[in-house]
Amino acid sequence: MPIVSRMGDMSIGTCCCHSKPRCRTKTARVIVNSANQGSEAKGVGTLTSMVLLTCGHVSKVVVGSATNKTNAKSKARVTDVIVGCYTAGKMITGATKHNSG
């Protein structure tokens, strides 16, 4: 099972909201999470959680757990997809001891 992504956890993808060169590989961190559900002292990321790319653009998690929810939203996990300025962005870090189906 994939591990849960939380506030501050990282993702990687290609940001295509630039002029020249248009698309650039960027990392990002989760900046919006559950206010009352945590994992290892950090708020749990959920479906629609926002990520802030190192270039200043934002995107959001669009795939989450089909079975595990936080505040009625699917939990975000490592390998879940992020879109917006990101094209095929994916979560790459998360809780070391908290798995989610």
CATH number at residue 66: 2.60.200
> What is the span of the domain harbouring residue 24?
10-91
Determine the Cα–Cα distance for residues 28 and 8; give it in Å rounded to an integer.
Answer: 9
Kindly report whether the global pTM for this prediction surpasses the value 0.85: yes
Do the domain assignments include residue 77?
A: yes
Task: Give me the number of domains the chain comprises.
Answer: 1
Determine the Cα–Cα distance for residues 44 and 4; give it in Å rounded to an integer.
Answer: 7
CA distances from 3 to 13, 16, 29, 83 (A): 19, 27, 16, 20
pLDDT digits (tens, 9 = 90+) for 38-89: 888 898 999 999 999 999 999 999 999 999 898 999 999 999 999 999 987 9
CA distances from 12 to 21, 41, 96 (A): 18, 23, 19
Do the domain assignments include residue 72?
A: yes
Do the domain assignments include residue 98?
A: no
